[in-house]
Amino acid sequence: MKRYLYLWHRWLGIVACLFMALWFISGVVMLYVGYPKLTPAERLAHLPVLALEKGSVDLEQVLHAADPEQAPTSIRLTTVAGAPRYILEYPGLRKVAIEADSGLQALPTDQVEALAAARQFAPGVAVRDRGAVQGDMWSQSRALDADRPLYRVAIADAERRLLYVSGSTGEVVRDATATERGWNWIGAWLHWLYPLRGIGIDGAWGPIVTYLSLAATLMAVLGLAVGLLRWRFTRTYRSGSHSPYQGVARWHHVGGLLFGVLLITWIFSGLMSMNPWKLFSSAQPLSVAAYQGGPLNAAAFPLGADEALRRFAEDGLRVRELEWRMIGGKGYVIGYDSAGRTRILSMADGRVLLQFNPGTLQQAAWAIRPERPMIVQQLAAYDFYYYAREPHSMMGHLEQRLPVLRVRFDDPARTWLHLDLHTGAVVSQLDQPRRASRWLFGLLHSWDWLPLLANRPLWDLWMILFSAGGLLISGTGMVLGWRRLGRSLKWGRR
Protein backbone atom coordinates (compact mmCIF):
# COMPACT_ATOMS: atom_id res chain seq x y z
CA MET A 1 0.00 0.00 0.00
CA LYS A 2 2.83 2.40 0.86
CA ARG A 3 4.40 1.78 -2.54
CA TYR A 4 1.22 2.92 -4.30
CA LEU A 5 1.07 6.05 -2.12
CA TYR A 6 4.61 6.92 -3.19
CA LEU A 7 3.94 6.22 -6.87
CA TRP A 8 0.70 8.20 -7.05
CA HIS A 9 2.29 11.12 -5.23
CA ARG A 10 5.36 11.04 -7.46
CA TRP A 11 3.62 10.89 -10.83
CA LEU A 12 0.86 13.30 -9.96
CA GLY A 13 3.52 15.69 -8.68
CA ILE A 14 5.51 15.68 -11.93
CA VAL A 15 2.65 17.57 -13.61
CA ALA A 16 0.86 19.22 -10.69
CA CYS A 17 3.90 20.78 -8.99
CA LEU A 18 4.63 22.92 -12.04
CA PHE A 19 1.14 24.43 -11.95
CA MET A 20 1.21 24.75 -8.17
CA ALA A 21 4.45 26.74 -8.33
CA LEU A 22 2.87 29.03 -10.92
CA TRP A 23 -0.23 29.42 -8.73
CA PHE A 24 1.81 30.45 -5.69
CA ILE A 25 3.95 32.95 -7.60
CA SER A 26 0.96 34.48 -9.35
CA GLY A 27 -1.06 34.41 -6.13
CA VAL A 28 1.47 36.69 -4.41
CA VAL A 29 1.20 39.14 -7.31
CA MET A 30 -2.59 39.09 -7.00
CA LEU A 31 -2.34 40.19 -3.37
CA TYR A 32 -1.43 43.63 -4.69
CA VAL A 33 -2.36 43.80 -8.39
CA GLY A 34 -5.68 42.39 -9.53
CA TYR A 35 -7.08 41.56 -12.93
CA PRO A 36 -7.99 44.79 -14.75
CA LYS A 37 -11.47 46.09 -14.01
CA LEU A 38 -13.34 49.39 -13.97
CA THR A 39 -14.82 49.71 -10.50
CA PRO A 40 -18.04 51.72 -9.93
CA ALA A 41 -15.98 54.29 -8.04
CA GLU A 42 -13.53 54.69 -10.95
CA ARG A 43 -16.34 54.92 -13.49
CA LEU A 44 -18.19 57.64 -11.58
CA ALA A 45 -14.99 59.59 -10.95
CA HIS A 46 -14.41 59.88 -14.72
CA LEU A 47 -17.93 61.01 -15.60
CA PRO A 48 -18.75 64.71 -16.13
CA VAL A 49 -21.56 66.42 -14.28
CA LEU A 50 -24.81 65.21 -15.84
CA ALA A 51 -26.62 67.93 -17.80
CA LEU A 52 -29.78 67.80 -19.92
CA GLU A 53 -30.89 70.10 -22.71
CA LYS A 54 -34.35 71.64 -22.58
CA GLY A 55 -36.88 69.44 -24.32
CA SER A 56 -35.15 66.17 -23.52
CA VAL A 57 -37.34 63.11 -23.93
CA ASP A 58 -39.29 61.72 -21.00
CA LEU A 59 -39.05 58.21 -19.58
CA GLU A 60 -42.11 56.92 -21.45
CA GLN A 61 -40.52 57.81 -24.78
CA VAL A 62 -37.28 56.18 -23.71
CA LEU A 63 -38.97 52.92 -22.76
CA HIS A 64 -40.97 52.83 -25.99
CA ALA A 65 -37.90 53.49 -28.12
CA ALA A 66 -35.87 50.81 -26.37
CA ASP A 67 -38.43 47.98 -26.33
CA PRO A 68 -42.19 48.63 -26.25
CA GLU A 69 -42.93 44.98 -25.40
CA GLN A 70 -40.63 44.28 -22.47
CA ALA A 71 -39.78 46.11 -19.24
CA PRO A 72 -36.09 46.59 -18.51
CA THR A 73 -34.32 45.28 -15.43
CA SER A 74 -32.24 48.44 -15.07
CA ILE A 75 -32.39 52.08 -16.24
CA ARG A 76 -29.54 54.58 -15.95
CA LEU A 77 -28.98 58.07 -17.33
CA THR A 78 -25.32 58.89 -17.80
CA THR A 79 -23.02 60.78 -20.15
CA VAL A 80 -21.53 58.91 -23.10
CA ALA A 81 -19.04 60.52 -25.49
CA GLY A 82 -20.08 63.97 -24.23
CA ALA A 83 -23.86 63.55 -24.56
CA PRO A 84 -26.54 62.33 -22.12
CA ARG A 85 -27.70 58.81 -22.84
CA TYR A 86 -30.08 56.32 -21.22
CA ILE A 87 -28.71 52.81 -20.73
CA LEU A 88 -31.36 50.10 -20.34
CA GLU A 89 -30.59 46.48 -19.52
CA TYR A 90 -32.85 43.52 -20.32
CA PRO A 91 -32.82 39.80 -19.49
CA GLY A 92 -30.46 37.74 -21.60
CA LEU A 93 -27.47 40.10 -21.37
CA ARG A 94 -29.00 42.73 -23.63
CA LYS A 95 -28.31 46.45 -23.39
CA VAL A 96 -30.01 49.26 -25.30
CA ALA A 97 -28.80 52.88 -25.43
CA ILE A 98 -31.22 55.77 -26.06
CA GLU A 99 -30.11 59.33 -26.81
CA ALA A 100 -31.61 61.61 -24.16
CA ASP A 101 -31.92 64.56 -26.54
CA SER A 102 -33.62 62.83 -29.49
CA GLY A 103 -35.20 59.73 -27.97
CA LEU A 104 -33.66 57.57 -30.72
CA GLN A 105 -31.71 54.39 -30.24
CA ALA A 106 -28.00 55.08 -30.35
CA LEU A 107 -26.18 53.64 -33.32
CA PRO A 108 -23.71 50.82 -32.66
CA THR A 109 -20.38 52.14 -31.43
CA ASP A 110 -17.80 52.92 -34.08
CA GLN A 111 -14.22 54.11 -33.98
CA VAL A 112 -15.16 57.80 -33.84
CA GLU A 113 -17.48 57.36 -30.86
CA ALA A 114 -15.00 55.11 -29.05
CA LEU A 115 -12.38 57.84 -29.31
CA ALA A 116 -14.90 60.42 -28.08
CA ALA A 117 -15.74 58.20 -25.09
CA ALA A 118 -12.03 57.94 -24.29
CA ARG A 119 -11.62 61.73 -24.47
CA GLN A 120 -14.49 62.11 -22.02
CA PHE A 121 -12.82 59.62 -19.69
CA ALA A 122 -9.50 61.48 -19.84
CA PRO A 123 -9.98 65.07 -21.09
CA GLY A 124 -6.98 66.74 -22.68
CA VAL A 125 -5.05 63.52 -23.15
CA ALA A 126 -3.96 62.07 -26.49
CA VAL A 127 -5.92 58.98 -27.54
CA ARG A 128 -5.14 56.28 -30.09
CA ASP A 129 -7.41 53.66 -31.62
CA ARG A 130 -6.30 50.07 -30.97
CA GLY A 131 -9.09 48.33 -32.90
CA ALA A 132 -12.19 46.32 -32.00
CA VAL A 133 -12.11 42.85 -30.47
CA GLN A 134 -14.59 40.31 -29.20
CA GLY A 135 -12.19 39.70 -26.34
CA ASP A 136 -8.53 39.67 -25.45
CA MET A 137 -6.34 38.80 -22.48
CA TRP A 138 -7.61 41.74 -20.40
CA SER A 139 -11.33 41.37 -21.19
CA GLN A 140 -12.10 37.72 -20.46
CA SER A 141 -14.76 38.53 -17.85
CA ARG A 142 -18.28 37.25 -18.57
CA ALA A 143 -19.58 40.53 -17.14
CA LEU A 144 -18.56 42.16 -20.43
CA ASP A 145 -20.54 39.78 -22.67
CA ALA A 146 -23.41 42.25 -23.18
CA ASP A 147 -20.91 44.91 -24.33
CA ARG A 148 -19.07 42.95 -27.01
CA PRO A 149 -17.56 43.79 -29.42
CA LEU A 150 -15.22 46.01 -27.40
CA TYR A 151 -13.38 48.98 -28.88
CA ARG A 152 -9.90 49.46 -27.47
CA VAL A 153 -8.41 52.92 -27.08
CA ALA A 154 -4.96 53.70 -25.67
CA ILE A 155 -4.73 56.96 -23.74
CA ALA A 156 -1.50 58.82 -22.94
CA ASP A 157 -2.26 59.55 -19.28
CA ALA A 158 0.14 58.92 -16.42
CA GLU A 159 -1.15 55.33 -16.06
CA ARG A 160 -0.95 54.61 -19.83
CA ARG A 161 -4.39 53.07 -19.70
CA LEU A 162 -5.96 50.85 -22.30
CA LEU A 163 -9.70 51.58 -22.34
CA TYR A 164 -12.42 49.21 -23.50
CA VAL A 165 -15.56 50.83 -24.92
CA SER A 166 -18.87 48.97 -25.15
CA GLY A 167 -19.97 48.17 -28.68
CA SER A 168 -23.63 48.38 -27.62
CA THR A 169 -23.75 51.48 -25.39
CA GLY A 170 -20.59 53.48 -26.09
CA GLU A 171 -19.60 53.52 -22.41
CA VAL A 172 -16.10 52.87 -21.14
CA VAL A 173 -16.56 49.54 -19.39
CA ARG A 174 -12.98 48.56 -18.50
CA ASP A 175 -9.58 50.14 -18.08
CA ALA A 176 -6.25 48.37 -17.85
CA THR A 177 -3.28 50.41 -16.67
CA ALA A 178 0.27 49.67 -17.78
CA THR A 179 1.05 48.44 -14.26
CA GLU A 180 -1.91 46.06 -14.29
CA ARG A 181 -1.07 44.75 -17.74
CA GLY A 182 2.58 44.23 -16.87
CA TRP A 183 2.08 42.44 -13.56
CA ASN A 184 -0.86 40.39 -14.77
CA TRP A 185 1.34 38.44 -17.14
CA ILE A 186 2.52 36.68 -13.98
CA GLY A 187 -0.60 37.51 -11.95
CA ALA A 188 -4.27 36.74 -12.52
CA TRP A 189 -3.83 35.95 -16.22
CA LEU A 190 -1.45 33.15 -15.26
CA HIS A 191 -3.19 32.18 -11.99
CA TRP A 192 -6.51 31.52 -13.74
CA LEU A 193 -4.79 29.75 -16.67
CA TYR A 194 -6.21 32.27 -19.11
CA PRO A 195 -3.60 31.25 -21.73
CA LEU A 196 -5.94 28.28 -22.34
CA ARG A 197 -8.72 30.63 -23.41
CA GLY A 198 -9.00 32.14 -26.85
CA ILE A 199 -7.19 29.22 -28.52
CA GLY A 200 -10.27 27.23 -29.49
CA ILE A 201 -10.77 25.26 -26.27
CA ASP A 202 -12.73 27.80 -24.22
CA GLY A 203 -15.39 25.21 -23.45
CA ALA A 204 -12.79 22.93 -21.90
CA TRP A 205 -11.15 25.65 -19.78
CA GLY A 206 -13.41 25.07 -16.77
CA PRO A 207 -13.01 21.26 -16.68
CA ILE A 208 -9.25 21.54 -17.22
CA VAL A 209 -8.81 23.90 -14.26
CA THR A 210 -11.21 21.84 -12.12
CA TYR A 211 -9.56 18.48 -12.67
CA LEU A 212 -6.06 19.89 -12.51
CA SER A 213 -6.92 21.39 -9.10
CA LEU A 214 -8.44 18.07 -8.03
CA ALA A 215 -5.29 16.21 -9.06
CA ALA A 216 -3.13 18.73 -7.20
CA THR A 217 -5.27 18.36 -4.07
CA LEU A 218 -4.99 14.57 -4.20
CA MET A 219 -1.26 14.81 -4.75
CA ALA A 220 -0.86 17.14 -1.73
CA VAL A 221 -2.89 14.84 0.54
CA LEU A 222 -0.83 11.84 -0.53
CA GLY A 223 2.36 13.84 -0.03
CA LEU A 224 1.44 14.72 3.54
CA ALA A 225 0.64 11.07 4.24
CA VAL A 226 3.99 9.94 2.78
CA GLY A 227 5.82 12.65 4.69
CA LEU A 228 4.35 11.52 8.01
CA LEU A 229 5.14 7.88 7.26
CA ARG A 230 8.77 8.68 6.44
CA TRP A 231 9.40 10.96 9.42
CA ARG A 232 10.83 9.31 12.55
CA PHE A 233 9.35 11.11 15.52
CA THR A 234 11.08 9.22 18.38
CA ARG A 235 14.38 8.20 16.81
CA THR A 236 16.62 9.17 13.91
CA TYR A 237 18.08 7.63 10.79
CA ARG A 238 21.79 6.81 10.56
CA SER A 239 22.47 10.33 9.34
CA GLY A 240 21.18 11.64 12.68
CA SER A 241 18.18 13.25 11.01
CA HIS A 242 14.52 12.43 11.48
CA SER A 243 14.19 12.55 7.68
CA PRO A 244 15.79 9.89 5.46
CA TYR A 245 16.40 12.35 2.62
CA GLN A 246 19.25 14.68 1.70
CA GLY A 247 19.48 17.95 -0.22
CA VAL A 248 16.45 19.05 -2.20
CA ALA A 249 14.50 15.97 -1.08
CA ARG A 250 14.97 16.91 2.59
CA TRP A 251 13.75 20.45 1.93
CA HIS A 252 10.71 18.96 0.23
CA HIS A 253 10.07 16.57 3.10
CA VAL A 254 10.44 19.13 5.90
CA GLY A 255 8.58 21.82 3.95
CA GLY A 256 5.71 19.42 3.36
CA LEU A 257 5.40 18.65 7.05
CA LEU A 258 5.51 22.35 8.01
CA PHE A 259 3.19 23.71 5.34
CA GLY A 260 1.39 20.61 4.05
CA VAL A 261 -1.96 21.28 5.74
CA LEU A 262 -2.00 24.89 4.53
CA LEU A 263 -1.01 23.72 1.06
CA ILE A 264 -3.93 21.30 0.95
CA THR A 265 -6.42 23.93 2.12
CA TRP A 266 -5.22 26.44 -0.48
CA ILE A 267 -5.30 24.06 -3.43
CA PHE A 268 -8.62 22.58 -2.29
CA SER A 269 -10.17 26.03 -1.85
CA GLY A 270 -8.92 26.98 -5.31
CA LEU A 271 -10.82 23.96 -6.59
CA MET A 272 -13.91 25.19 -4.74
CA SER A 273 -13.66 28.55 -6.53
CA MET A 274 -14.62 26.76 -9.74
CA ASN A 275 -17.93 25.61 -8.19
CA PRO A 276 -17.12 22.03 -9.24
CA TRP A 277 -20.09 19.91 -10.23
CA LYS A 278 -22.30 22.90 -9.20
CA LEU A 279 -21.82 22.19 -5.51
CA PHE A 280 -22.65 25.77 -4.60
CA SER A 281 -25.51 26.29 -7.06
CA SER A 282 -28.94 26.62 -5.51
CA ALA A 283 -31.47 23.93 -6.31
CA GLN A 284 -34.32 26.35 -5.52
CA PRO A 285 -33.00 29.92 -5.79
CA LEU A 286 -35.18 32.50 -4.10
CA SER A 287 -36.80 34.89 -6.58
CA VAL A 288 -36.53 38.52 -5.48
CA ALA A 289 -38.78 39.90 -8.24
CA ALA A 290 -41.50 40.68 -5.71
CA TYR A 291 -39.08 43.02 -3.90
CA GLN A 292 -39.55 45.52 -6.75
CA GLY A 293 -43.32 45.23 -6.50
CA GLY A 294 -43.75 45.84 -10.21
CA PRO A 295 -41.87 46.44 -13.47
CA LEU A 296 -39.94 49.60 -14.26
CA ASN A 297 -42.53 51.71 -16.08
CA ALA A 298 -43.04 55.40 -16.71
CA ALA A 299 -46.23 55.64 -14.63
CA ALA A 300 -44.24 55.05 -11.42
CA PHE A 301 -41.99 58.06 -12.14
CA PRO A 302 -44.04 61.25 -12.53
CA LEU A 303 -40.99 63.47 -11.97
CA GLY A 304 -38.67 63.69 -14.96
CA ALA A 305 -34.89 63.46 -15.06
CA ASP A 306 -34.48 67.25 -15.33
CA GLU A 307 -36.56 67.77 -12.18
CA ALA A 308 -34.57 65.05 -10.36
CA LEU A 309 -31.33 66.80 -11.27
CA ARG A 310 -32.69 70.13 -10.02
CA ARG A 311 -33.77 68.69 -6.67
CA PHE A 312 -30.52 66.85 -6.14
CA ALA A 313 -28.58 70.04 -6.93
CA GLU A 314 -30.66 71.92 -4.33
CA ASP A 315 -29.63 69.25 -1.82
CA GLY A 316 -25.96 69.78 -2.69
CA LEU A 317 -25.35 66.71 -4.88
CA ARG A 318 -23.52 67.25 -8.18
CA VAL A 319 -24.95 64.29 -10.05
CA ARG A 320 -22.89 62.19 -12.44
CA GLU A 321 -25.50 59.51 -13.01
CA LEU A 322 -29.16 58.76 -12.31
CA GLU A 323 -30.67 55.34 -11.71
CA TRP A 324 -34.36 54.40 -11.64
CA ARG A 325 -35.56 51.81 -9.11
CA MET A 326 -38.81 50.15 -8.16
CA ILE A 327 -39.00 49.08 -4.50
CA GLY A 328 -42.18 47.79 -2.94
CA GLY A 329 -44.23 49.00 -5.89
CA LYS A 330 -43.00 52.60 -5.57
CA GLY A 331 -40.61 54.52 -7.77
CA TYR A 332 -37.33 56.07 -6.66
CA VAL A 333 -34.54 57.84 -8.54
CA ILE A 334 -31.02 57.45 -7.15
CA GLY A 335 -28.44 60.16 -7.82
CA TYR A 336 -24.69 59.45 -7.72
CA ASP A 337 -21.88 61.99 -7.51
CA SER A 338 -18.25 61.52 -8.55
CA ALA A 339 -17.29 60.01 -5.18
CA GLY A 340 -20.16 57.49 -5.20
CA ARG A 341 -22.21 59.43 -2.64
CA THR A 342 -25.94 59.06 -3.18
CA ARG A 343 -29.28 60.74 -2.64
CA ILE A 344 -32.74 59.24 -3.13
CA LEU A 345 -35.67 61.06 -4.74
CA SER A 346 -38.99 59.54 -3.72
CA MET A 347 -41.65 59.69 -6.42
CA ALA A 348 -44.40 59.39 -3.80
CA ASP A 349 -43.79 62.75 -2.13
CA GLY A 350 -40.90 64.34 -4.04
CA ARG A 351 -38.60 64.37 -1.01
CA VAL A 352 -34.84 63.92 -1.27
CA LEU A 353 -33.57 61.33 1.23
CA LEU A 354 -30.07 60.47 2.42
CA GLN A 355 -31.03 56.81 2.82
CA PHE A 356 -34.08 54.58 2.92
CA ASN A 357 -36.11 54.04 6.03
CA PRO A 358 -35.31 50.44 7.05
CA GLY A 359 -39.04 49.79 7.37
CA THR A 360 -39.53 50.62 3.68
CA LEU A 361 -37.05 47.97 2.56
CA GLN A 362 -38.28 45.51 5.15
CA GLN A 363 -41.84 45.81 3.87
CA ALA A 364 -40.66 45.37 0.28
CA ALA A 365 -38.66 42.26 1.26
CA TRP A 366 -41.64 40.78 3.08
CA ALA A 367 -43.48 40.57 -0.27
CA ILE A 368 -40.94 37.97 -1.44
CA ARG A 369 -42.38 35.33 0.94
CA PRO A 370 -45.36 36.93 2.69
CA GLU A 371 -46.62 33.63 4.10
CA ARG A 372 -43.39 32.87 5.98
CA PRO A 373 -41.63 34.65 8.86
CA MET A 374 -38.35 36.50 8.31
CA ILE A 375 -35.65 37.91 10.56
CA VAL A 376 -34.38 41.45 9.93
CA GLN A 377 -31.10 42.81 11.27
CA GLN A 378 -29.43 46.16 10.60
CA LEU A 379 -25.64 45.89 10.43
CA ALA A 380 -23.56 48.89 11.43
CA ALA A 381 -20.25 46.99 11.15
CA TYR A 382 -18.83 44.27 8.94
CA ASP A 383 -19.04 40.62 9.92
CA PHE A 384 -18.03 37.24 8.51
CA TYR A 385 -20.65 37.24 5.73
CA TYR A 386 -20.70 40.94 4.86
CA TYR A 387 -17.38 42.74 4.51
CA ALA A 388 -15.35 44.87 2.11
CA ARG A 389 -12.16 43.96 0.25
CA GLU A 390 -9.51 46.03 -1.49
CA PRO A 391 -10.77 47.29 -4.90
CA HIS A 392 -8.12 45.34 -6.84
CA SER A 393 -9.14 41.99 -5.31
CA MET A 394 -11.40 39.59 -7.18
CA MET A 395 -14.66 40.75 -5.57
CA GLY A 396 -13.36 44.09 -4.32
CA HIS A 397 -15.29 46.09 -6.91
CA LEU A 398 -18.59 45.16 -5.22
CA GLU A 399 -19.70 48.02 -3.01
CA GLN A 400 -20.36 46.92 0.56
CA ARG A 401 -21.74 50.02 2.27
CA LEU A 402 -22.79 50.42 5.85
CA PRO A 403 -25.34 50.39 7.33
CA VAL A 404 -26.97 47.50 5.51
CA LEU A 405 -30.13 45.52 6.15
CA ARG A 406 -29.83 41.74 6.46
CA VAL A 407 -33.06 39.83 5.88
CA ARG A 408 -33.18 36.10 6.65
CA PHE A 409 -35.93 34.03 5.03
CA ASP A 410 -37.46 30.75 6.09
CA ASP A 411 -37.20 29.21 2.62
CA PRO A 412 -35.69 25.74 1.95
CA ALA A 413 -32.21 27.20 1.36
CA ARG A 414 -32.39 29.61 4.34
CA THR A 415 -31.61 32.58 2.09
CA TRP A 416 -30.21 35.86 3.36
CA LEU A 417 -30.49 39.15 1.48
CA HIS A 418 -28.34 42.21 2.10
CA LEU A 419 -30.20 45.42 1.20
CA ASP A 420 -28.28 48.68 0.72
CA LEU A 421 -29.99 51.45 2.69
CA HIS A 422 -28.38 54.10 0.45
CA THR A 423 -29.71 52.77 -2.86
CA GLY A 424 -32.26 50.05 -2.05
CA ALA A 425 -30.24 47.55 -4.10
CA VAL A 426 -30.05 43.85 -3.27
CA VAL A 427 -26.31 43.81 -2.63
CA SER A 428 -26.00 40.05 -2.20
CA GLN A 429 -28.07 36.91 -1.92
CA LEU A 430 -26.61 34.22 0.33
CA ASP A 431 -28.25 30.84 0.70
CA GLN A 432 -26.79 27.73 2.33
CA PRO A 433 -24.62 26.71 -0.67
CA ARG A 434 -23.23 30.23 -1.02
CA ARG A 435 -22.49 30.45 2.69
CA ALA A 436 -20.66 27.13 2.38
CA SER A 437 -18.63 28.66 -0.46
CA ARG A 438 -17.79 31.56 1.85
CA TRP A 439 -16.09 29.09 4.21
CA LEU A 440 -14.54 26.75 1.65
CA PHE A 441 -13.33 29.43 -0.76
CA GLY A 442 -13.41 32.93 0.71
CA LEU A 443 -11.91 31.95 4.05
CA LEU A 444 -9.54 29.14 3.09
CA HIS A 445 -8.24 30.70 -0.14
CA SER A 446 -8.04 34.44 0.53
CA TRP A 447 -8.15 34.28 4.32
CA ASP A 448 -11.02 36.76 4.39
CA TRP A 449 -11.13 36.78 8.17
CA LEU A 450 -11.87 40.12 9.80
CA PRO A 451 -9.17 39.96 12.51
CA LEU A 452 -6.60 39.53 9.69
CA LEU A 453 -8.20 41.94 7.19
CA ALA A 454 -8.41 44.65 9.85
CA ASN A 455 -4.67 44.28 10.52
CA ARG A 456 -3.17 44.37 7.04
CA PRO A 457 0.47 43.91 7.99
CA LEU A 458 -0.53 40.73 9.79
CA TRP A 459 -2.64 39.53 6.85
CA ASP A 460 0.19 40.31 4.41
CA LEU A 461 2.78 38.45 6.46
CA TRP A 462 0.46 35.47 6.81
CA MET A 463 -0.29 35.28 3.09
CA ILE A 464 3.33 35.77 1.99
CA LEU A 465 4.67 33.22 4.48
CA PHE A 466 1.95 30.79 3.41
CA SER A 467 2.82 31.34 -0.26
CA ALA A 468 6.55 30.93 0.37
CA GLY A 469 5.88 27.61 2.09
CA GLY A 470 3.71 26.44 -0.80
CA LEU A 471 6.36 27.53 -3.29
CA LEU A 472 9.04 25.65 -1.32
CA ILE A 473 7.02 22.44 -1.49
CA SER A 474 5.99 22.75 -5.14
CA GLY A 475 9.37 24.05 -6.33
CA THR A 476 11.36 21.27 -4.71
CA GLY A 477 8.74 18.75 -5.78
CA MET A 478 9.08 19.95 -9.37
CA VAL A 479 12.85 19.48 -9.25
CA LEU A 480 12.55 15.98 -7.76
CA GLY A 481 9.79 14.95 -10.15
CA TRP A 482 11.61 16.04 -13.27
CA ARG A 483 14.83 14.41 -12.06
CA ARG A 484 12.91 11.18 -11.66
CA LEU A 485 11.28 11.57 -15.05
CA GLY A 486 14.69 12.19 -16.61
CA ARG A 487 16.05 8.99 -15.09
CA SER A 488 13.03 7.02 -16.28
CA LEU A 489 13.41 8.33 -19.82
CA LYS A 490 17.13 7.56 -19.73
CA TRP A 491 16.50 3.96 -18.65
CA GLY A 492 13.76 3.63 -21.25
CA ARG A 493 16.21 4.43 -24.08
CA ARG A 494 18.59 1.66 -23.03
Instruction: Note the pLDDT tens digit of each residue in 72-111.
Output: 999 999 999 999 999 999 998 899 999 999 999 999 999 9
- Give the H/E segment covering residue 7: helix 2-30
DSSP state of 147: G
- pLDDT tens-digit series, residues 305-328: 999 999 999 999 999 999 999 999
pTM reported for the whole predicted model: 0.91
Specify whether the CB–CB gap between 317 and 335 falls below 8 A. yes
Residue 29 belongs to domain spanning: 1-35+185-282+443-494
Q: How many domains are there within the chain?
A: 2
pLDDT for 492: 54
Does pLDDT of 494 surpass 60? no
- Give the H/E segment covering residue 65: helix 59-66
Q: How far apart are the first and last CA of the chain?
A: 30
Residue 77 and residue 27 share a domain: no
Residue 423 lies in a domain: no
Provide CB contacts within 8 A for 140, sequence distance 6+: 194, 197, 198
The Cα 457–Cα 459 span in angstroms is: 5
Percent over 70 (pLDDT), the chain? 96
pLDDT for 332: 98
Residue 45 and residue 29 share a domain: no
Residue 163 and residue 80 share a domain: yes
Residue 468 lies in a domain: yes
Residue 179 and residue 95 share a domain: yes
Residue 151 and residue 168 share a domain: yes
The Cα 78–Cα 297 span in angstroms is: 19
- pLDDT tens-digit series, residues 449-473: 999 988 888 999 999 999 999 999 9
Output the CA torsion sign for 108, 129, 182, 171.
Answer: negative
Residue 225 and residue 195 share a domain: yes
Residue 214 lies in a domain: yes
Query: Which of 129, 158, 184 is where one domain is finished?
Result: 184
pLDDT for 4: 66
Which of left, alpha, beta for 317 (phi over 0: left; psi -120 to 50: alpha)? beta
pLDDT for 424: 96
Confidence class for position 31, pLDDT limits 50, 70, 90: very high
Q: Return the higher-pLDDT residue of 392 and 44.
A: 44
Residue 435 lies in a domain: no
Does pLDDT of 493 surpass 60? no
pLDDT for 191: 92
Our separate counts of H helices and E strands in the chain read 15, 15
Residue 175 and residue 54 share a domain: yes
Query: Which of 184, 207, 237 is where one domain is finished?
Result: 184
The Cα 143–Cα 133 span in angstroms is: 15
Residue 135 and residue 53 share a domain: yes
Confidence class for position 123, pLDDT limits 50, 70, 90: very high
Residue 155 and residue 50 share a domain: yes
Q: Return the higher-pLDDT residue of 411 and 201.
A: 411
3-state class of 426 per DSSP?
A: strand
- pLDDT tens-digit series, residues 359-395: 999 999 999 998 888 999 999 999 999 999 888 887 7
Query: Which of 136, 155, 184 is where one domain is finished?
Result: 184
Specify whether the CB–CB gap between 261 and 482 falls below 8 A. no
Give which of 74, 80, 76, 75 is closest to 48, Cα–Cα.
Answer: 80
